[in-house]
A and B are shown apart, each in its own frame.
Chain A
Amino acid sequence: MLGEFEYLILTAAAGLGDKAYGAAIREEIETATGRKCSLGALYTTIDRLEGKGLLESWMGEATPQRGGRSKRMVRVTGEGANAAKEFYDSVMRISRGVAWVADRSGGTR
């Protein structure tokens, strides 16, 4: 099963689609969680996910705002999408009926 941070990366990459690369994924995660995301954690986790076959990465285009440097592009594989869905389903199942979920959906306890 995935870890929390692995799930965040897979989900951010899937949401970004063709525009998924290091800086963009980092921004997505920081915006969604409100927490700082270090590049060290990001790139080592991307490597781990790639090693498990859940992600693919390759060097993409270079842009002027990056000082002419290439991006490390990322794409979620079918296996990665399945693993993320499994994680999400597990979180949803285990969260059913707990106080903070009930509160959010209108206090139906």
Chain B
Amino acid sequence: MTGAAWRCIEAAACLLEEREREAVLGDLAEVQGSGWRGLIDVLGLAIRRQAEPWKSWRPWVAGFGLAWPGSFFLMGVSLSVSHGVRGLVDTALHPGMPITSQSVSLLLIHLLLLIAWAWTGGFVLGRISRRTLWASILLCSLPCTYCMAEFPEGVLQSFCLLLFLLPAFWGVRLGMRGERVRRGFALALAAVPTFSALLTWRSGSSLFYALALVWPGWYVAASGHKRKDRQA
């Protein structure tokens, strides 16, 4: 086996977990077979390992039931919060304009909705699709990239669409670590997006869409008593 072939095999083996990489590279070094076969072996194993979690429902639900549709919804809420904040700043800068309690309460509701939903969504993603998180991130980033590219020039910047990322990444981090969520806190996390959605959209397809996406909160609430759930 040539040095170049071995370097290719070592590079491909980076796709494997540390222990497996050690065993596989050791086996290939011991056998001294052809570089091509060694590379096929390592890539074949890496593909099998990546494909394994997709036999479960979890990565599919995480990607297509949460990351993809949730990103559209959360970009909308992020934009709404940004508009609300912008409105308050304008009002503060122009003392003649009145601050209505309705605009403040709507901003607070949307802010709560944004933080609670993004956090629970991220938490559930981290918990149920740890090994396929890259796919969920990809499915979330595609709509984000498109919407940012199409974002009209105006008073708001396109990054306002991505306000949800901070609580979402925080949730993902805790979900991946298998952190325990106390039932009371989990119930509050589930209730906030549900009631916020009901208060914001009293009827229509937006309400249906929003309610269809509150399941992560209730999933966290239902599994709140468990220390660790099975990971995909």
Contacts and interface: CB of A to CB of B under 8 A. Distances in A.
Contacts of A65: 29-30
Interface string B38-54: 00111011111100100
Contact of A40 (B28, B29, B41): B41
A62 interface: yes
A75 interface: no
A105 interface: no
A70 B133 CA distance: 29
Which of under 10, 10 to 19, 20 to 34, or 35 or more describes the interface residues of B? 20 to 34
A40 B26 contact: no
B104 to A, nearest CB: 55
Interface in B130-144: none
A59 B19 contact: yes
B26 A39 contact: no
Contact of B42 (A39, A44, A70): A39
Contacts of B45: 38-40, 43-44
A44 B46 CA distance: 10
B52 A39 contact: no
B2 to A, nearest CB: 15
Given A23-B31, A40-B41, A70 B48 contact: no
Contact of A67 (B29, B41, B44, B48): B29
Which of under 10, 10 to 19, 20 to 34, or 35 or more describes the interface residues of A? 20 to 34
Given A44-B45, A44-B48, A44-B52, A39 B27 contact: yes
B23 A22 contact: yes
B19 A66 contact: no
B24 interface: yes
A22 B49 CA distance: 17
Contacts of A59: 19, 22-23
B41 A38 contact: yes
A63 B47 CA distance: 28
Contacts of B26: 23, 62-63, 66-67, 69-71
B92 to A, nearest CB: 61
Contacts of A43: 20, 23-24, 45
A39 B41 contact: yes
Contact of A39 (B19, B22, B24, B29): B24
B25 interface: yes
Interface in B49-99: 49, 52
